[in-house]
């Protein structure tokens, strides 16, 4: 029942908001559906803690230690983003950037996007996982192009084409896994694509087929992750879409895509009994970190700046999962959590800053601390958190990843440290004058409500000082499940 409520609520929300998404209370309805989804996620989490991993609906859906915390995180950030989008989209409508039809499209597609991510996270069927990822692409294309400007349409088409090519390669990789599984499991139909069945016989699967499948799966789902050199869609999509969509793209969709990669890695590594999947993930991850840190220096748009920061951090997570082992996997899971919370908080603050300044250009946004102290402090604290300053949780996860790399991959440690230093200098050098710079503008009489920003940052701060035992238990169980060399 909890799973049906979790998956059914956003689907129902999409249908209801397609009919009433332009109503003056549509934003409140969006929050209500998101809150119900989060409540269902919490109830499902309680069930999993009490009973352990569960298979439901004829084994088509699996909830285990790996995905249960991601489900809760996705539902939570979905709720806080819905709260943020309520005043944000109302101001967009007042400024004439969106009308009634586009508000209806925004609210309904927001709920549909949430549904597709939750299906991708909870399904036990690799075929349904692919379908959910494709549905997530289609729904977010409509959201990225919401403003219908030439730049947003170009960004939407680039997103659609690049991710469409990537997801097609992921489909071919999935077909190769089915081909290998059918030879072991027999003519079992769709059950040959059930992850639990495949995991039970992964040692018997044909290694040559699985190694080729992983190449296509990593490239395919890696396009959705934003790994270099497959990242070109991500900065444009973040910059041109509504800011709430930038928050969920960066904070949630990238997590779902890397979750798909890791699920496939578990199968392929068990079949090959070699480090090839790990080496490929470390290579793509390291290249992404380096390229993103260099591109940060060239950015003039504040949303593009933090989009490249997302590429950098997804590269760090991919590298950590590539190293594998209990500590690296634990650190990667923690980094997924704190990055999701921190980056969405940053986009909330950036959205208000750009809305008040009337521009996203970094050079034209100055003196936020004078204009609106809540926006200024939200942006600065979020930037310091994402840059890995203690005592925020990003520092804890990056410290674990770097110390593990010193033992397992010492050659990569100087590269990571240099890239992180470059990223720190680039982001701090651009954000500092935005917050503390001089401005002749007058202070805003009604500062925006930024409760989601500071709620996220408070959790990130807590995770840097203390990881609750039940959360640490999830991470340890998931790290053991992922395994690695």
| Run of H or E including 170 | helix 150-185
If pLDDT is split at 50, 70 and 90, which confidence band does 448 have?
Answer: low
Beta bridge partners of 125: 194
221 vs 206: CA distance, rounded Å: 22
Q: Which of 172, 33, 43, 4 is nearest to 114 (CA)?
A: 33
Q: Which of 355, 331, 322 is nearest to 242 (CA)?
A: 355
- The pLDDT of residue 331 is 94
- Over residues 246-296, the pLDDT tens digits come to 999 888 899 999 999 999 998 888 887 778 888 999 999 999 999 999 999
If pLDDT is split at 50, 70 and 90, which confidence band does 441 have?
Answer: low
- Over residues 383-396, the pLDDT tens digits come to 999 999 989 999 99
Residue ranges per domain, the chain?
336-485
Phi and psi at residue 393, in whole multiples of 5°? -65, -30
If pLDDT is split at 50, 70 and 90, which confidence band does 355 have?
Answer: confident
Instruction: Sort residue 359 into left (φ over 0), alpha (ψ -120 to 50) or beta.
Output: beta
- The pLDDT of residue 420 is 94
Q: Is the pLDDT of residue 481 over 80?
A: yes
The answer to whether the peptide bond before residue 229 is cis (omega within 30 degrees of 0) is: yes
Q: Is the pLDDT of residue 314 over 90?
A: yes
- The pLDDT of residue 189 is 60
If pLDDT is split at 50, 70 and 90, which confidence band does 365 have?
Answer: confident
For residues 452-473, average pLDDT = 91
- Over residues 329-338, the pLDDT tens digits come to 999 999 999 9
255 vs 384: CA distance, rounded Å: 21
Count other C-beta atoms under 10 Å from residue 203's C-beta. 12
232 vs 218: CA distance, rounded Å: 16
Query: Could you identify the residue written with the tokens 């793209």?
Result: 249
**Distance from chain centroid for Cα 3:** 21
For residues 215-228, average pLDDT = 91
If pLDDT is split at 50, 70 and 90, which confidence band does 484 have?
Answer: low
If pLDDT is split at 50, 70 and 90, which confidence band does 55 have?
Answer: confident
- The pLDDT of residue 444 is 60
Q: Which of 312, 320, 324 is nearest to 425 (CA)?
A: 312
Q: Which of 76-80, 137-141, 193-197, 480-484 has the lowest mean pLDDT?
A: 480-484
- The pLDDT of residue 255 is 92
If pLDDT is split at 50, 70 and 90, which confidence band does 190 have?
Answer: low
pLDDT mean across residues, the chain: 89
- Over residues 137-180, the pLDDT tens digits come to 888 898 998 888 898 899 889 888 888 888 899 999 999 998 88
Question: Three-class SS of residue 462?
Answer: helix
E strands, 1-96, in order: 54-56, 61-63
Count other C-beta atoms under 10 Å from residue 174's C-beta. 22
**Distance from chain centroid for Cα 444:** 32
- The pLDDT of residue 287 is 94
- The pLDDT of residue 95 is 79
Those residues whose C-beta lies under 8 Å from the C-beta of residue 212, and which sit 6 or more positions away, are 176
Percentage of the chain beyond pLDDT 70 is: 96
For residues 474-482, average pLDDT = 88
- The pLDDT of residue 220 is 92
Q: Which of 77, 425, 430 is nearest to 254 (CA)?
A: 77
Q: Is the pLDDT of residue 187 over 80?
A: no
pTM of the full predicted structure?
A: 0.94
If pLDDT is split at 50, 70 and 90, which confidence band does 238 have?
Answer: confident
For residues 439-454, average pLDDT = 71
- The pLDDT of residue 116 is 94
- The pLDDT of residue 440 is 63
């Amino acid at each position: 029942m909890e799973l049906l409520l979790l998956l059914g609520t956003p689907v129902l929300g999409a249908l209801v908001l397609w009919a009433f998404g332009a109503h003056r209370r549509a934003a409140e309805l969006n929050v209500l559906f998101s809150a119900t989804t989060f409540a269902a996620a919490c109830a499902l989490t309680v069930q999993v803690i009490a009973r352990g991993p569960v298979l439901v609906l004829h084994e088509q859906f699996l909830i285990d230690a790996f995905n249960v915390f991601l489900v809760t995180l996705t539902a939570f950030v979905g709720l806080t983003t819905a709260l943020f989008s309520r005043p944000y989209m109302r101001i967009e409508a007042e400024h004439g950037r969106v009308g009634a039809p586009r508000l209806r499209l925004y609210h309904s597609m927001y709920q549909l996007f949430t549904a597709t991510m939750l299906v991708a996270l909870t399904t036990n069927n690799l075929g349904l996982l692919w379908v959910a990822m494709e549905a997530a692409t289609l729904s977010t294309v409509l959201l990225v192009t919401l403003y219908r400007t030439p730049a947003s349409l170009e960004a939407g088409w680039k997103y659609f084409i690049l991710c469409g090519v990537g997801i097609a390669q992921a489909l071919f990789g999935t077909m190769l896994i089915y081909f290998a599984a059918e030879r072991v499991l027999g003519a079992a139909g769709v059950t040959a694509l059930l992850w639990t069945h495949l995991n039970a016989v992964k040692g018997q699967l044909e290694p040559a087929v699985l190694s080729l499948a992983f190449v296509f799966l990593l490239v395919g789902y890696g396009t959705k992750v934003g790994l270099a050199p497959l990242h070109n869609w991500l900065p444009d999509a973040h910059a041109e879409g509504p800011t709430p969509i930038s928050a969920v793209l960066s904070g949630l969709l990238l997590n779902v895509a890397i979750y798909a990669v890791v699920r496939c890695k578990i199968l392929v590594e068990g079949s090959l009994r070699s480090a090839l999947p790990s080496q490929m993930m470390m290579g793509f991850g390291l290249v992404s970190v380096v390229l993103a840190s260099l591109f940060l220096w060239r950015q003039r748009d504040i949303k593009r700046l933090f989009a490249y920061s997302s590429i950098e951090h997804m590269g760090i997570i991919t590298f950590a999962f590539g190293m594998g082992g209990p500590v690296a996997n634990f650190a990667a899971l923690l980094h997924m959590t704190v990055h999701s919370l921190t980056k969405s908080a940053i986009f909330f603050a950036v959205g208000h800053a750009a809305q008040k300044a009337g521009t996203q250009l970094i050079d034209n946004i100055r003196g936020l601390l004078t204009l609106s102290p809540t926006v200024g402090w939200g942006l600065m604290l979020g930037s310091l958190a994402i840059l890995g300053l203690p005592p925020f949780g990003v520092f804890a996860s990056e410290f674990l990843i770097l110390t593990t790399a010193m033992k397992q991959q010492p050659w990569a440690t100087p590269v990571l440290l240099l890239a992180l230093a470059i990223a720190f200098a680039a982001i701090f050098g651009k954000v500092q004058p935005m917050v503390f710079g001089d401005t002749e503008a007058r202070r805003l009489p009604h500062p925006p409500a930024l409760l989601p920003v500071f709620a996220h940052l408070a959790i990130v701060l807590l995770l840097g000082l203390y990881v609750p035992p039940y959360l640490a238990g999830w991470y340890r169980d998931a790290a053991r499940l992922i395994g690695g060399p």
